[in-house]
Amino acid sequence: MCASETPSAYLSDDVDGGPTGGDGQARSSKDESGRKRKLEYPPAPEPLAVPVMDNHTHLNFRDGLVEVSVKDALDAAAAVGVQGAVQVACDLESARFTVRALDEDSRLLGALAIHPNDAPLYAGRGELESALAEIETLAAHPRVRGIGETGLDYFRTTGEEEQKIQQYSFRRHIDIARRLGLTLQIHDRDAHDDVVRILLEDEQPPRVVFHCFSGDETLAAICNEHGWFMSFAGPVSFKANDHLRAALRLARRDLILVETDSPFLTPHPFRGRPNASYMIPYTMRAMAAAVDVDLDTLCAAVAQNTVDAYGSWD
């Protein structure tokens, strides 16, 4: 495949459609301010010479104009030097999808949880305990290496009662990760202080990853001190996010990871378009520029860190 062409599995002639439904969940065809998004997948970047892994993607989420299989998504990623991914579940439906996908393709590892914004919904139906029990059962799969994404989201969940449920659910996930010896993958939106406080109050799981790291140098210094991984996504490439690049520069080189959070958080210059693991090289190049280090050197470090965080893909 030549650089600057969209991978064929992501191409469609259907210019009027929205995200296809299928069995999975679909991302909205409008952005957060209600504007219609451009739904064509961006062109593929120049391949990376030193391969890395995408440690946070949601293959169950449909976006764009086409439905892409797990195999095609991972083939497109491999063609640009992204040799594996961690498929992340946010609810029971996507947790079951994840375990099936792990059996289909050895380039995937998995992480399972009830998302902090979903925890109050499960609790409201009286189903949070049974959902956590099923997450723990499914997490026995040998290729599930993470409990996540869990944590706190005070941006989307604003009620005091709901935030209490998030905190309870977060602690339960910490306990599951610790008992199963799995990596804790944290979603932290507008909740840095409480996330850090709860992590330090509870007995720690063996490894902790801040997915889509959204803090500044203060949080990066805390992560450095405790050996918590910091995973950077598309926003590190956005012009306004100097605080993320400052945090990245301060981050210990052995704690830096890269992710897409696809289909969300598409890197510059394709913000708002659908995202996929094959887009990782755009973010890696923005990170190398921010740290002012050779791209291959940073890719080698990130690849090693990803194995340190989740274990081997073999």
Nearest distance from residue 205's CB to Zn ion, in Å? 18
Per CB under 5 A, contacts with Zn ion among 130-149 are 149
Centroid of chain to Cα 51 = 18
When the beta carbons of 172 and 187 are compared against Zn ion, the nearer one is 187
Nearest distance from residue 258's CB to Zn ion, in Å? 14
Nearest distance from residue 88's CB to Zn ion, in Å? 5
When the beta carbons of 119 and 291 are compared against Zn ion, the nearer one is 119
Alpha carbon distances (Å) from 161 to 67, 84, 120, 213, 243: 38, 39, 9, 26, 31
Per CB under 5 A, contacts with Zn ion among 163-222 are 187
Per CB under 5 A, contacts with Zn ion among 232-271 are 261
- Cis peptide upstream of residue 269 (ω within 30 degrees of 0): yes
Q: Which amino acid is at 52?
A: V
Instruction: Read off the tokens for 286.
Output: 């923005």
When the beta carbons of 291 and 306 are compared against Zn ion, the nearer one is 306
When the beta carbons of 131 and 212 are compared against Zn ion, the nearer one is 212
Nearest distance from residue 186's CB to Zn ion, in Å? 8
Nearest distance from residue 253's CB to Zn ion, in Å? 24
When the beta carbons of 90 and 102 are compared against Zn ion, the nearer one is 90
Nearest distance from residue 61's CB to Zn ion, in Å? 9
List CB contacts of 292: < 8 A, sequence separation 6 or more.
none
To which residue do tokens 């065809």 refer?
Answer: 29
Cβ contact 236:283 at 8 Å = yes
Cβ contact 134:172 at 8 Å = no
When the beta carbons of 27 and 37 are compared against Zn ion, the nearer one is 27
Nearest distance from residue 86's CB to Zn ion, in Å? 10
Nearest distance from residue 114's CB to Zn ion, in Å? 13
Residue with nearest beta carbon to Zn ion: 187
When the beta carbons of 91 and 149 are compared against Zn ion, the nearer one is 149
Cβ contact 230:249 at 8 Å = no
> Does the protein bind Zn ion through residue 54 (CB under 5 A)?
no
Nearest distance from residue 14's CB to Zn ion, in Å? 27
When the beta carbons of 215 and 291 are compared against Zn ion, the nearer one is 215
Q: Which amino acid is at 15?
A: V
When the beta carbons of 168 and 264 are compared against Zn ion, the nearer one is 264
Interface residues toward Zn ion, by CB under 5 A: 149, 187, 261
